[in-house]
Structure 1
Amino acid sequence: MSLYLITVWHAPGVHATGAAYQSPEEMQIAHERVSAYNAMLQNAGAFVGAGGLMPPEEALVVDATAAEGPEKASTAAEVRGGILARGDLQMGGFWIVEAPDDAGARTYAAEASFACGQPVELRRLQG
């Protein structure tokens, strides 16, 4: 069994405007489907964790790579508002699932995409 990360991505500004879905009805359907998907994962013993993220406008980039050791990391850290990744999409939420193989993980990812009504990215965790 391996662990996989399934991430949901949105266009910039979607959180701030609430525009991930075309209507409140579509958003309600997605919430119901995601709840059913989460329950299915839990019943299958595949659910490790999940969460939606706060808007990227609340994100902070923390860089302590220049610190001279872990004990100095917090005082040496540079902190700025914004997101680390740049591009036309921003992460909006995630699941961590346990699957027996890549094919099983792809099935979970397809079901996640249907549930949330968004494309998702699937990546196996190292280890």
Structure 2
Amino acid sequence: MNYLLMLFADEKAGMAIPPDQMAGFMNQMAAYQATLEKAGAFVGTAALQTTDTARTITTQGGELKVHDGPYADTREQFGGYFIIAAPDMAAAIALAAQCPAATWGHIEIRPYHPQFGPD
């Protein structure tokens, strides 16, 4: 089964990190991806641009409404993701626990829907 690991962190704090220190964090994330690949669990990953580039849409009464920014106004923002393959939630949690992003933010783990996911 595939699981989405949603990585949340405070993007303002992230933007304040010096480039050399950020490069070290990105190296940790690359090593995590290599660990997933070696375990046969890596499906995909991407980093997202900052929330000021986001748009949230809804349709009300047939009219499209477009709002700047993310839907939720929170201290932490959705900044990227991994898609992993794991036999069950316990295995997905064990793999997510190895992600360096868990040390500077939160990771939400969600299984793909059995009827609508790619599994």
TM-score normalised by the chain length of structure 1: 0.75
Which residue is 1:123 aligned to?
Answer: 110
The alignment status of 1:102 with 2:62, answered yes or no, reads: no
Matches within 5 A, 1:46-125: 46-64=41-59, 66-67=61-62, 76-112=63-99, 114=100, 117-119=103-105, 120-125=107-112
Matched residues, number: 113
The share of aligned pairs that are identical, in percent, is: 30
Question: Which blocks of at least 5 consecutive residues in structure 2 are unaligned?
Answer: 115-119
C-alpha change, 1:95 and 1:65, in structure 2 (3 Å) is farther
Question: How far did residue 79 of structure 1 move?
Answer: 1.1
Question: Which blocks of at least 5 consecutive residues in structure 1 are unaligned?
Answer: 68-75
Conserved 8 A contact 2:4-2:84: yes
Partner Cα distance (2:102, 2:21) in 1: 10
Larger radius of gyration: 1
Which residue is 2:19 aligned to?
Answer: 24
Normalized per residue, the structure richer in strand is: 2
Tell me the C-alpha RMSD between the 2 structures.
Answer: 2.1
C-alpha change, 1:26 and 1:59, in structure 2 (3 Å) is same
Partner Cα distance (2:23, 2:57) in 1: 35
